[in-house]
Structure 1
Amino acid sequence: MSHDAIVLCRLDELVEGQALGFDPLGTGKDSVFALRHGGEVRVYRNSCPHLEVRLEYRKDRFLSVDGSQIICYAHGARFLPDSGLCVYGPCLGQSLSALRWHAEADWLVLEAGQLEACAP
């Protein structure tokens, strides 16, 4: 595995309708999160386009109860899990920042160079 890559988790740890937060920079706060929606894995920066606040209200709580939308608990914005597009709230029409990833031996691996934008 390249030293320019960061392993987040095993792909089978991502369950449909749930999300997991990660702190790949070691800042003490989850700066990225991953989810499985419609069988597809997505990884986003943990930052709402409205005021750039963290999305979750507690560890790994990024999604609505039914798992159909990503929610910013600070301002109530709602995002589509498959695209990150805001469909409700103060950042309507804006999108979450998606991160590039790849699978390597059943692991979810991020390209490290894109993480600087996730630093606090």
Structure 2
Amino acid sequence: MSDERLLCRLEDIVDGKSKGFPGPNGSFIGLFAVRQGGAVHVFVNSCPHIGVPLDMVPDRFLDGQGKRIVCAVHGAYFRIEDGFCTAGPCAGDSLEQVPARIDDQGQVWVPLDAGA
């Protein structure tokens, strides 16, 4: 049995944009991914401040310029490359980053228990 699960295809995420995904087995907290060219950064969709999902509107995890991840609940800003909070009530904390692997067919894989 594999210790990974298929999240999506890289082409399912528009370059420079983000996309949310439900958690395994219907869990409340899912994942989200941000694509930057051929790279994808995946995080648990839970703000370190109070544990709520970051998006109020589906798939909207980035600021207007697409340069930072933003929590819609209280406006905290996070770096895309590592999820570190640079401003807001959880400044200095980080989102939980999920290891992601893109295979040679362009499929994005994450650990089986990611977001559980």
Q: Structure 1 vs Structure 2: percent identity of aligned residues?
A: 37
| Structure 1, unpaired ranges of 5+ | none
1:101 aligned residue:
100
- Residue 61 of structure 1: CA displacement? 0.7
CA RMSD of aligned residues (A): 1.8
Moved over 6 A (4+): none
Cα displacement string for residues 25-73 of structure 1 (whole angstroms, at most 9, x for unaligned residues)? 1427561001113653100000010011110011101111111110101
Query: SS of the counterpart of 1:95?
Result: coil
| Structure 2, unpaired ranges of 5+ | none
Is residue 115 of structure 2 the alignment partner of residue 112 of structure 1? no
1:55 aligned residue:
54
- Residue 20 of structure 1: CA displacement? 0.5
- Residue 106 of structure 1: CA displacement? 1.1
Q: Distance in 1 between matches of 2:29 and 2:92?
A: 24
- Residue 10 of structure 1: CA displacement? 0.8
- Residue 8 of structure 1: CA displacement? 1.2
Query: SS of the counterpart of 2:42?
Result: strand
Q: Distance in 1 between matches of 2:7 and 2:55?
A: 18
* Contact 2:40-2:100 at 8 Å conserved across structures: no
Q: Provide the TM-score with structure 1 as the length reference.
A: 0.85
* Contact 1:16-1:36 at 8 Å conserved across structures: yes
- Residue 19 of structure 1: CA displacement? 0.3
